[in-house]
Structure 1
Amino acid sequence: MYKYRLTILVLSQFFCTSLWFAGNSAIENTQHANDSVLLGHLSSAVQAGFIIGTFFYALFAIADRYSPSHVFFWSSLLASLSNLLLIYPSLPLEGLLTFRFLTGFFLAGIYPVGMKIAVDHYESDLGKPMGFIVGALVMGTATPHLLKSINLEAVTANIVVCTSVLAVVGGLTTLLFVDNGPFRKKTEILKFDSFFQSFRSREFRTIMFGYIGHTWELYAFWSCVPQILLIYADQHKQHSLNLPILSFLIIACGSIGCIVSGYTSRKFDSKKFATFLLLSSAICCLLSPFVLNVESIVLLVTFLMLWNIFAVSDSPLFSRLMAENAPRHARGAALTIANCLGFSVTIISIQLTSNLLKITGSHYVFLLIAIGPLFGIISLLMKNFGKNTNLPSKNLS
């Protein structure tokens, strides 16, 4: 079984991160379905929980001080329990928000910790595992749109139960079959500034700024995909279109891009490749006000798919570069705090673009999210970055 550890880890990531999105999808099929304000609060509660959770996990260097597989398991168990409590009868609004927050909090011990496990096993060749792990998250992001296309009113509780069970299975299989990697360096003593050690490296800071630019664009784009399709359907009187299925296909295709970029990063300079992808997605942002007004749904969906592939495919590259340029004993904290900062920025970009799109209905809104990839490009082109970012940093101890 150990030779299949990457497959196990990727499936575990998908099973566990389904809690992030499927929980809200289940609630959207209840009596709260028409309460857009409540659904927005629930989504924000998960995001806020994840942000605070990643800061907590990074501050206490949990993935560096304790076995990452054990951290992954216990986090998945607690996240699945928080998700399962959503089916408690007559749960008040405060309870819904609390359990969504806790689910996000414990997801901080799953997604970034899963990347930490991959780093400990594949230090010399991170492209492939990072591509698959991020691809699993992308597929998890798309899954709720697939669920929305099905009449699930009678099985809402089943969605919650199934995702909770899958998360436990994912955490347990990781605990049993994915041991501590040979490149793991345990931190024996708690130092509250351990996650700041990575920021002392100019290389890491540069990559971190690039990653923040990437997240600014990506999550704003994902949040607006259903709205873009809805605007198209209203303008062209094509209300028979299955918008959730189209949303699923547009976002899910990004998982293929992540896998491909993971493989190709083994042959090309990761920094240059990430810069190319940021430039490509920035061009899509700048072209969007014109292309999104086309009459052909095929052309529209094709453009959105290409935009998504460009926008998400640099994610495994940034994860790889941050892992390679972080101190070995603080890699878990470094990857976790990177997620914390990246997701903090997404709250601003998501609220800004989605609200402006609702108010104006204008595709010129997407010029604002071009700020992200352009900022990332400037960061990656800064001088003194390093001669070869495909090689592990010398600052590994």
Structure 2
Amino acid sequence: MSTAVPRHILPVIVLSQFASTSLWFAVNAVMPDLQRDWALPPAALGSLTSAVQLGFVAGTLAFALLMLADRFPPARVFLACSVLGALCNAAMLLAGGRLGVLLALRFAIGFLLAGVYPVGMKIAASWYRERLGAVMGVLIGALVLGTALPHGLRALAGDGSGPASSAGGLAPWQLVVLAVSLLAAAGGLATAVLVPPHPQVLRAARITPRALGLIWSDRRLRASVFGYFGHMWELYSFIVLVPVVMATRLAGTSVSAAAFWAIGAGFAGCVGGGLMVRSLGSARVAQLQLATSAACCVASPLMLVAPLPLFIAWMLLWGATVSGDSPQFSTLTAQNAPPAVVGSVLTFTNCIGFAISVASIEIFVRAAQAWPLAAVLPALAIGPALGLWMLSPLVRR
């Protein structure tokens, strides 16, 4: 017998996911402030972002192997990781510019996010088994908005010349860090209090290394997984470089505001892509969005010097499509993996994908410091191009 889903479940999960995943790129939103006040080197942008990604890879493997979301109520795991992640984020204010401490804190936050993002998906999947595709689009869209949120908060905090700078003697960037921490903790608390466990929740299967072989040997599974790898080459480097790109045309808090809208446009891409699936299918939607984001990469030398309205429209389109295919790749991989090992396949796929993002971030952040953006950004299209090639068997089918 199916269980009726209380109406408040999905909004609570979505808002909690949005609030708690704001921890992911909190440091990126205030990086110019940290470089000014703490004299952090330019390479710190890539290193601190990579630390979060590596922490997430390690955390995903640890949570999966230990089956923590099965041994303990998932909502309690979500709460614990949100609160601990919030504390680690707030502790950044005590680092005093010591890069080693900041790297350790960002790694810890990435590790704890493995108990937020995937566990939130697990909670949603237990309640929405029949409408999971549409729900996945909204949830990943919430993750994208959470990623953008610190930039929006930084824009609202002002440049330090207004009342915000005198709040408790804290600088605007410090207020942003604390606000993100409070939001993350509130998101965890909302899930623990308002989302009950599903009465018929299923226990996940144990992680098996044989899933790694299936990723390569199964033609359809290989198509979706390697398409996702190409997507990951582009996605997080784009997110890291958005403020750098915006700073070529804007200044001050306008950079943070524009970065929020460009990254946050991915919410529309995720939800819109989910609506298009009924008529086009996940493979074609993923192909369309991946091809569009690749075209945005290639067009960057022209768009960087285009009139400002066209420049902004280009960044919004890029932001919408670079994230919008994420739910479709997750759906395709889950559909094409054998049911007995789908959890293992998704775990290994996420870990490899985020490891690829670490390499991409390091390459493109360093390249952007050495060469003009017009020469660097087109190379982001390498991943989508390979992803489109690998995805083609599913599209033809």
TM-score for both structures, normalised by structure 2: 0.84
Which residue of 315, 327, 351 maps to 1:304?
Answer: 315
What per-residue deviation string (whole Å, max 9, x for no partner) do you get for residues 190-219 of structure 1? 555376486375433321111111111122
List alignment gaps of at least 5 residues for structure 1: 234-238, 388-397
CA distance in 1 between partners of 2:264 and 2:19 (Å):
15
What is the aligned residue count? 379
Q: Match of 1:247, as an amino acid?
A: A
Q: Match of 1:7, as an amino acid?
A: P
Q: Report what 2:257 is aligned to.
A: 245
Q: Report what 2:268 is aligned to.
A: 256
CA contact (8 A) 2:159 2:252 kept: no
Q: Match of 1:164, as an amino acid?
A: S
Q: Within 5 A, what are the aligned runs for 1:216-227?
A: 216-227=233-244
Q: Report what 1:126 is aligned to.
A: 132
Q: Report what 1:151 is aligned to.
A: 159
Measured after TM superposition, the shift of residue 246 of structure 1 is: 1.7
Measured after TM superposition, the shift of residue 300 of structure 1 is: 0.7
CA distance in 2 between partners of 1:202 and 1:62 (Å):
32
Q: Within 5 A, what are the aligned runs for 1:63-102?
A: 63=69, 66-88=72-94, 90=96, 92-102=98-108
Query: Could you say if the C-alpha distance between residues 160 and 327 of structure 1 is closer, same or farther in structure 2, counting changes exceeding 3 Å?
Result: farther
Query: Could you say if the C-alpha distance between residues 263 and 183 of structure 1 is closer, same or farther in structure 2, counting changes exceeding 3 Å?
Result: farther
CA contact (8 A) 1:15 1:170 kept: yes
CA distance in 2 between partners of 1:78 and 1:241 (Å):
29
Q: Match of 2:13, as an amino acid?
A: L
Alignment of 1:317 onto 2:317: no
Q: How much is the aligned-residue C-alpha RMSD, in angstroms?
A: 3.0
Query: Could you say if the C-alpha distance between residues 228 and 85 of structure 1 is closer, same or farther in structure 2, counting changes exceeding 3 Å?
Result: closer
CA distance in 1 between partners of 2:42 and 2:97 (Å):
18
TM-score for both structures, normalised by structure 1: 0.84
Paired-residue identity, %:
37
CA contact (8 A) 1:67 1:180 kept: yes
Alignment of 1:204 onto 2:221: yes
Q: Report what 1:168 is aligned to.
A: 185
Query: Could you say if the C-alpha distance between residues 157 and 309 of structure 1 is closer, same or farther in structure 2, counting changes exceeding 3 Å?
Result: closer
Q: Match of 1:16, as an amino acid?
A: S
CA distance in 2 between partners of 1:191 and 1:241 (Å):
45
What per-residue deviation string (whole Å, max 9, x for no partner) do you get for residues 269-290 of structure 1? 1111111221222222222223
Q: Report what 2:359 is aligned to.
A: 348
Measured after TM superposition, the shift of residue 158 of structure 1 is: 4.0
Q: Which moved more, 1:242-251 or 1:323-332?
A: 323-332
Query: Could you say if the C-alpha distance between residues 87 and 25 of structure 1 is closer, same or farther in structure 2, counting changes exceeding 3 Å?
Result: same
Alignment of 1:12 onto 2:3: no
Name the SS of the counterpart of 2:15 in structure 1: helix
Q: Match of 2:226, as an amino acid?
A: F
Alignment of 1:193 onto 2:209: yes
Q: Match of 1:275, as an amino acid?
A: Q
Which residue of 48, 53, 59 maps to 2:59?
Answer: 53
Query: Could you say if the C-alpha distance between residues 186 and 201 of structure 1 is closer, same or farther in structure 2, counting changes exceeding 3 Å?
Result: farther
Name the SS of the counterpart of 1:351 in structure 2: helix
